């Protein structure tokens, strides 16, 4: 069985990435079968519980307030709306609901209390619960865990070097600190990135190097293909090729053998055959439903047709028997004085981000 390593070098990972694709897929498929059931795919549904108005300048994101995109801003959903969405997702075949809020970081306020109640409501449906809410402190992560959260997503997006070409309003080290806080709360970690933003193969391998150095490795790694959105700084980026996506999935599978590799954003740009290659190369999870926060996604019924054609089955929730236990008193108790949060704001200049933020509405709407 493939060794779980935390001492990869970028050169080693790049050598794997650059192998002939046929050889790379074959090796990745072997590793996938050694560590996972290749016929089982974990199906998640992503729900935006608070859309738009984010203060960050992430170059790929239509939810950034500074860019004039066609995203409709929505306030925080109600707990009942989230519960109904969870029931709908579960009936369609999803085993996990991931709730996303367009926040820079979590604050100990009434809205966070509502999110904690949402987590408990989804937990009560017997689905795995995941959140992606921005940066979190250790205490906030522990409150989420006490409410029944199973996983926390916080992507590192790219290599540390290329990250600075995409985002200037939050530091890479803050992303890693958030992942550390999540791990201290005994939550499972979900962290990956985006390809197709203009980065090099070295940057893609640099991202995998960072993830491989985490101890333990993240339980899941989403690999997203950039979906260029009008009004964002990356609106004119070319769609990443299916060959690059397969290559990235396969390399991730080999470097992180026990991790669930999630085929995430960008699937609407792929053929069924392309997605089949991704599953063969080691993808073990997808997001299902017609929308990923704000970008299009294949219809659930189409996914099930593909599953049937390939002989794949949805994975049941808590397959490892690791359903968390709720501590209602702990998640409902706010810290008396709150934690002192010192999240960084590098604020170096990214020309394309500045230019996009200055465009008048008429040019971007």
CB under 8 Å to 65, separation ≥6 — which residues? 52, 53, 54, 55
| Whether residue 58 lies in the annotated active site | yes
Whose structure tokens read 């090796």? 27
Which token pair is 64? 């950034």
Q: What is the DSSP string of 42-83?
A: EEEEEEEEEBS-B----TT-TTBTTS--SPPPB-PPPHHHHH
Tallying the residues shown for the chain, one arrives at 365
| Whether residue 262 lies in the annotated active site | yes
Residue spans of beta strands (DSSP E) within the chain: 40-50, 96-101, 128-132, 151-153, 188-190, 193-195, 220-225, 260-263, 283-288, 291-292, 295-296, 313-314
Q: What CA–CA distance (Å, rounded) separates 44 from 94?
A: 5
- Do 262 and 220 meet the contact criterion of CB atoms below 8 Å apart? yes
**Residue from 54, 131, 205, 278 carrying the catalytic annotation:** 54
**Residue from 58, 131, 205, 278 carrying the catalytic annotation:** 58
**Residue from 143, 170, 175, 190 carrying the catalytic annotation:** 190
| Whether residue 190 lies in the annotated active site | yes
| Whether residue 131 lies in the annotated active site | no
Taking the alpha carbons of 209, 213, 217, 222 in that order, is the dihedral positive or negative? Answer: negative
**Residue from 96, 130, 183, 267 carrying the catalytic annotation:** 130
Q: What is the DSSP string of 273-299?
A: HHHHHHHHTTEEEEEESSEETTEE---
- Pairing relationship of beta strands 291-292 and 295-296 according to DSSP bridges: antiparallel
Q: Compute the radius of gyration of the chain from its Cα atoms.
A: 19
Of residues 13, 83, 9, the one with CA closest to residue 47 = 83
How many Cα atoms are found within 13 Å in the side-chain-facing hemisphere of 101? Answer: 26
CB under 8 Å to 186, separation ≥6 — which residues? 145
**Residue from 175, 247, 262, 267 carrying the catalytic annotation:** 262
**Residue from 83, 96, 98, 247 carrying the catalytic annotation:** 98
Active site residues: 54, 58, 61, 98, 130, 190, 262
């Amino acid at each position: 069985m493939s060794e779980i390593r935390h001492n990869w070098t970028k050169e080693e990972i790049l050598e794997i990435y650059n192998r002939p694709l046929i050889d790379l897929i074959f090796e990745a498929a072997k590793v996938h079968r050694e560590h996972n059931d290749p016929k089982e795919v974990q199906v998640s549904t992503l729900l935006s519980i608070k859309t738009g108005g984010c203060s960050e300048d992430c170059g790929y994101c239509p939810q950034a307030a500074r860019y004039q995109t066609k995203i409709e801003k929505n306030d925080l959903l109600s707990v009942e709306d989230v519960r109904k969405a969870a029931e709908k997702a579960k009936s369609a075949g999803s085993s996990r609901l991931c709730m996303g809020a367009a926040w820079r970081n979590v604050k100990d306020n009434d809205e966070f209390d509502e999110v904690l109640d949402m987590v408990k409501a989804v937990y009560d449906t017997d689905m795995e619960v995941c959140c992606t809410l921005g940066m979190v402190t250790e205490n906030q992560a522990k409150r989420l865990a006490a409410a029944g959260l199973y996983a926390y997503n916080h992507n590192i997006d790219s290599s540390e070097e290329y990250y600075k070409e995409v985002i200037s309003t939050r530091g890479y080290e803050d992303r890693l600190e958030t992942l550390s806080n999540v791990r201290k709360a005994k939550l499972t970690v979900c962290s990956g990135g985006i390809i197709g933003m203009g980065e090099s193969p070295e940057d893609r391998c640099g991202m995998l190097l960072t993830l491989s150095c985490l101890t333990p490795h993240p339980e899941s790694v989403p690999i997203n293909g950039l979906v260029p959105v009008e009004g964002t700084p990356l609106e004119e980026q070319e769609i990443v090729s299916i060959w690059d996506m397969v290559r990235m999935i396969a390399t991730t599978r080999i470097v992180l053998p026990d991790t669930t590799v999630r085929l995430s954003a960008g699937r609407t740009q792929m053929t069924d055959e392309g997605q089949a290659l991704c599953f063969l190369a080691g993808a073990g999870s997808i997001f299902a439903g017609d929308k990923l926060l704000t970008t299009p996604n294949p219809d659930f019924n189409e996914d099930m047709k593909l599953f049937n054609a390939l002989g794949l089955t949805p994975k049941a929730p808590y397959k490892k028997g690791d359903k968390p236990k709720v501590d209602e008193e702990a998640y409902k108790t706010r810290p008396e004085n709150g934690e002192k949060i010192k999240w960084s704001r590098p604020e170096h200049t990214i020309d394309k981000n500045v230019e996009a933020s200055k465009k008048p509405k008429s040019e971007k709407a």
